[in-house]
Amino acid sequence: MALLTILQYPDPRLHKVAKPVTEVDDRIRQLVKDMAETMYDAPGIGLAATQVDVHEQVIVMDLSETRDELRVFINPKIVWRSDEQKVYEEGCLSVPGIYDEVERADRVRVEALNEKGEKFVIDADDLLAVCIQHEMDHLKGRVFVEYLSPLKRNRIKAKMKKQAERA
């Protein structure tokens, strides 16, 4: 396994749209392992392949306190979302130290493949629903700060550029 480099906003590669995985093979399974190791090390609760400059539809997440309930979503599709919306404070490994409120569907139903290439369907609510929508946005080339006002987004962009210059 290997730690991968997480792209930092406003890196333009974060805006690339991920392509579907054509075959869940050893390369994809290795990517999943590397992404999981990277997410746990960061530490975070979710990571999309786009964030590590791999533009394929792969997401890993683990919302457990014990960090031993890895979930893998390959080629995820939201097939239903509730009309009810909920506001959660979100953060992102690609935008470290920045947290803000984002409104999303309260519940979603997602179809995806697991790391064995098997199809599954999951109904998600609360933090799991938020995390799925947040990570799926990455696969579409969208970062959570894009839900914020232009003023907030520009401040965050300036702050992130300053941090990158100092690093």
Q: What are phi and psi of 135, to 5 degrees?
A: -70, -35
List the catalytic residue out of 65, 69, 135, 146. 135
CA distance linking residue 49 with residue 102, whole number of Å: 22
Instruction: Say whether 135 is catalytic.
Output: yes
Question: What DSSP string describes 96-149?
Answer: EEEEEEEEEESEEEEEEE-TTS-EEEEEEEHHHHHHHHHHHHHHTT--GGGGS-
Does 15 belong to an annotated binding site? no
Does 134 belong to an annotated binding site? yes
Phi-psi sector, 89: left (phi>0), alpha (psi -120 to 50), beta? beta
Binding residues: 92, 134, 138
- Active-site residue list: 135
Binding residues for Fe cation: 92, 134, 138
